[in-house]
Chain A
Amino acid sequence: GEDVEQSLFLSVREGDSSVINCTYTDSSSTYLYWYKQEPGAGLQLLTYIFSNMDMKQDQRLTVLLNKKDKHLSLRIADTQTGDSAIYFCAEDGDDKIIFGKGTRLHILP
């Protein structure tokens, strides 16, 4: 079945890079997504990657996709306190988006 797995917690020092990893099961996914949820708010799309791409860069964000291993990662360079949030990995399902359980990113001073 469709499933998305990601670790639940990550702590990173301010200024370091954060890498959030995710594995998914549906090899027919066309898009894979990263959503960000700040405290008290809804999910906002952070970035997405088309399944025929290996990498996508957008300012401090780099998404890497290994389609063979069904592995997706999100790298945030120069992590800031404002990056503290829950990051959800998601894949296209047949008629819905399948979300992972979310990785809570904690920034250490």
Chain B
Amino acid sequence: DTAVSQTPKYLVTQMGNDKSIKCEQNLGHDTMYWYKQDSKKFLKIMFSYNNKELIINETVPNRFSPKSPDKAHLNLHINSLELGDSAVYFCASSPGLAKNIQYFGAGTRLSVL
């Protein structure tokens, strides 16, 4: 009964490919996020969605396209993968936009070869 689940856990792919990472939360939260954690473990927010509406887009290349079919799901599609996209991607959710605890998924480790 994982609260925030993301798949796959590991993703190894070639440069230039297109891939998707899926995220689902069963907490009934309104807000979902995507974060990127680099090799130094620095965490950077990429996107947030509130009730399926894009709220934050932190100057992420437009090769990254989030999609929220409903408020329990926020998927991340990445086109034309580059070596620099290799990182761990975390999905998170919270009850609302601000002043709220965020709950994180276990992460998807993306390796671009």
Contact = CB atoms under 8 A, between A and B. Distances in A.
Interface of A: 30-31, 33, 37, 40-45, 48, 86, 88, 92-97, 99, 101-102, 104
A96 B101 contact: no
Contacts of B33: 96
Nearest to B94: A97
Given A92-B99, A95-B48, A95-B98, A42 B90 contact: yes
Contacts of B4: 42
Given A41-B107, A43-B90, A96-B56, 8 more contacts: A37-B41, A45-B102, A48-B101, A92-B99, A95-B98, A96-B33, A101-B41, A102-B41
B41 A104 contact: yes
B98 A102 contact: no
A43 B45 CA distance: 13
* A interface, over-half SS: strand
B42 A97 contact: no
Interface residues of B, number: 22
Given A30-B99, A93-B98, A95-B97, A43 B41 contact: no
Contacts of B66: none
A13 B48 CA distance: 39
Interface string B49-60: 000000110000
Contacts of A30: 99
Contacts of B55: 95
A14 B45 CA distance: 34
